[in-house]
Structure 1
Amino acid sequence: MKNFIILKSPKLFIVFVLVLFCSTAYPQITQWTSKGPGAGGALFSPSFSPHNSNEIYIACDMSELFHTTNLGLTWNEISFNNITGNNGANVRFTENPQFLYCINFAGDLMTPNRSTDGGVTWNAIASDPTFGGAFSLNADPANSNRLLTSDYTTLFYSSNGGSTFTQKYSNANGCYIAGVFFDVNNIFVCLDNGVLVSTNSGSTFSMSALLAYLLLKLLSLLPQQNKAVLHASSV
Structure 2
Amino acid sequence: MNRIAFLCIALLANSAIGGYENVGGWRWENIGPGGGGAMYAPSISPHSGGRTVFIVGDMANHYLSRNGGRTFSVMDFGLASYTRNAVFFHPTDSLVVFTYKARRIYRSLDGGRSFTAVAQAGAFDCSAIVADPEEGNVLFAAMRRQASTPILQSYNWGNS
Answer whether TM exceeds 0.5 for this pair. Answer: yes
DSSP-derived class of the 2:137 partner: strand
DSSP-derived class of the 1:58 partner: strand
Take 1:150 and 1:55, find their aligned partners in 2: how far apart are those partners? 25
Relative to its length, the structure with more helix (as a share) is 1
The residue number in structure 2 matching 1:218 is none
The residue number in structure 1 matching 2:31 is 36
Deviation at 1:35, TM superposition (A): 4.2
Written as runs of structure 1 = structure 2, the 5 A alignment for 1:7-26 is none
Take 1:132 and 1:123, find their aligned partners in 2: how far apart are those partners? 19
Q: Does the CA contact (< 8 Å) of 1:140 and 1:146 recur in 2?
A: yes
Match of 1:121 among 107, 114, 122: 114
Take 2:133 and 2:80, find their aligned partners in 1: how far apart are those partners? 23
Q: Does the CA contact (< 8 Å) of 1:110 and 1:135 recur in 2?
A: no
Listed one character per residue, the Cα deviations across residues 47-81 of structure 1 (whole Å, up to 9, x for unaligned) are 01111111100001224100101111111000143
Q: TM-score, normalised by structure 2?
A: 0.69
Written as runs of structure 1 = structure 2, the 5 A alignment for 1:200-219 is none
* 1:76 matched to 2:73: yes
The aligned amino acid for 1:64 is N
Take 1:41 and 1:33, find their aligned partners in 2: how far apart are those partners? 18
The residue number in structure 2 matching 1:60 is 57
Label 1:73 to 1:128 Cα distance change in 2 as closer, same or farther (>3 A). same
Unaligned runs of 5+ in 2: 1-23
Unaligned runs of 5+ in 1: 1-28, 165-235
Label 1:91 to 1:151 Cα distance change in 2 as closer, same or farther (>3 A). same
* 1:139 matched to 2:135: no
Take 1:131 and 1:123, find their aligned partners in 2: how far apart are those partners? 20
RMSD: 2.5
Relative to its length, the structure with more strand (as a share) is 2
Deviation at 1:135, TM superposition (A): 2.2
Q: Does the CA contact (< 8 Å) of 2:60 and 2:74 recur in 1?
A: no
